[in-house]
Chains A and B, each alone.
Chain A
Amino acid sequence: MDIDDTIKRIRNRDISRRDLNKALASVGLATVAMPLTSRRGLAEEQAIYYTWSGYDIPELWPSYLEMHGEPPETPIFGDAEESFVKVRAGYVVDVMHPCSNNVPRWRHAGVLQAIDVSRLSNWGDVVPALKTVKDGVFGDEHWFIPFEWGQTSVTYRTDLFDLAGEEESWGMLWDERYAGRLSIIDAAEDSWWCAAIYAGIDTDNLTDADIQKVFDLLVQQQKLLLFRQSDMTTVEQALASGELAAAMTWNSSPLTLTREGVPVKFANVKEGALTWVCGMVLTADAPHYDKAHDLLNAMIAPEVGKFIIEDYGYGHSNSKAFQLVSDDELFARGLTSDPMEILGAGTFLQAQTEDIEQKINRDWGELIAMI
Chain B
Amino acid sequence: MSEPTAVSTGSGVAPMGTPLRWWRRLILRNEAVRGYTLLSPTLFLMTLALGAPVFFLFLVSFFTQDLLEISTDFSLENYMSFLGKENYQKLLWRSLKVSGFVTVLSVVLAYPMAYFIAFRVRKNKFAWLILITVPFWTSYLLRVFAWKIVLGHNGVINSGLTELGFIEEPLTFLLYNPFAVVLTLAHAWAAFAIMPIYVSLEKIDRSLLEAARDLGDGPAMRFWRVTLPLSMAGVVAASLLVFIPTVGDFVTPTMVGGPKGTLIGNLIQIQFGKANNWPLGAALSVISLIAITAVVCAFLWFTKRVRTQEL
Contacts and interface: CB of A to CB of B under 8 A. Distances in A.
B145 to A, nearest CB: 11
B67 interface: yes
Interface in A330-371: 354-355, 358, 361-362, 364-366, 368-371
A242 B169 CA distance: 11
Contact of B176 (A187, A226, A362, A370): A226
A81 interface: yes
Interface in A65-88: 79, 81-82, 85, 88
A81 B273 CA distance: 7
Interface in B141-160: 152-154
B271 interface: yes
A369 B267 contact: yes
Contacts of B276: 81, 85, 358, 361-362
Nearest to A80: B274
Interface in B35-76: 66-68
Nearest to A180: B172
A243 to B, nearest CB: 4
A325 interface: no
Contacts, number: 75
A365 B275 contact: yes
Nearest to A184: B259
A227 B87 contact: no
Given A180-B172, A369-B88, A369-B267, A188 B274 contact: yes
Given A85-B273, A88-B68, A354-B67, A369 B172 contact: no
A160 interface: no
B91 interface: yes
A238 B175 CA distance: 12
Interface residues of A, number: 32
A364 B88 contact: no
Contacts of B90: 369, 371
A88 to B, nearest CB: 7
B258 A364 contact: no
B162 interface: no
Contacts of B266: 368
Contacts of A364: 270, 274-275
Given A82-B274, A354-B67, A370-B87, A365 B267 contact: yes
Nearest to B85: A369
Contact of A227 (B68, B88, B176, B275): B176
Interface in B83-115: 85, 87-88, 90-91, 94
A228 interface: yes
Given A85-B276, A242-B153, A227 B259 contact: yes
B184 interface: no
A241 B273 contact: no
B231 interface: no
Contacts of B176: 226-227
Nearest to A364: B274
B239 interface: no
A23 B91 CA distance: 70
A29 interface: no
Interface residues of B, number: 30
Given A225-B259, A241-B153, A369 B87 contact: yes
Nearest to A243: B153
A109 interface: yes
A258 B94 CA distance: 40
A368 B268 CA distance: 11
B272 interface: yes
B227 interface: no
A369 B262 contact: yes
B273 A225 contact: no
B273 A368 contact: no
B67 A368 contact: no
A180 B66 CA distance: 36
Contacts of A297: none
Contacts of B91: 369, 371
A222 interface: yes
B154 A365 contact: no
Nearest to B262: A368
B277 A362 contact: yes
B154 A241 contact: yes
A245 to B, nearest CB: 12
Contacts of A368: 259, 262, 266-267, 270
Nearest to B172: A180
Interface string A187-222: 110000000000000000000000000000000001
Given A188-B274, A225-B259, A371-B90, 5 more contacts: A180-B172, A187-B274, A242-B153, A369-B262, A371-B262
29 contacts: A82-B274, A109-B68, A187-B274, A226-B176, A226-B258, A227-B176, A227-B259, A238-B153, A241-B152, A241-B154, A242-B153, A243-B170, A362-B276, A364-B270, A365-B270, A365-B271, A365-B275, A366-B87, A366-B275, A368-B262, A368-B267, A368-B270, A369-B87, A369-B90, A369-B91, A371-B87, A371-B94, A371-B260, A371-B262
Q: Closest 7 CB pairs between A and B?
A: A365-B275, A243-B153, A369-B87, A227-B258, A365-B270, A81-B274, A241-B154
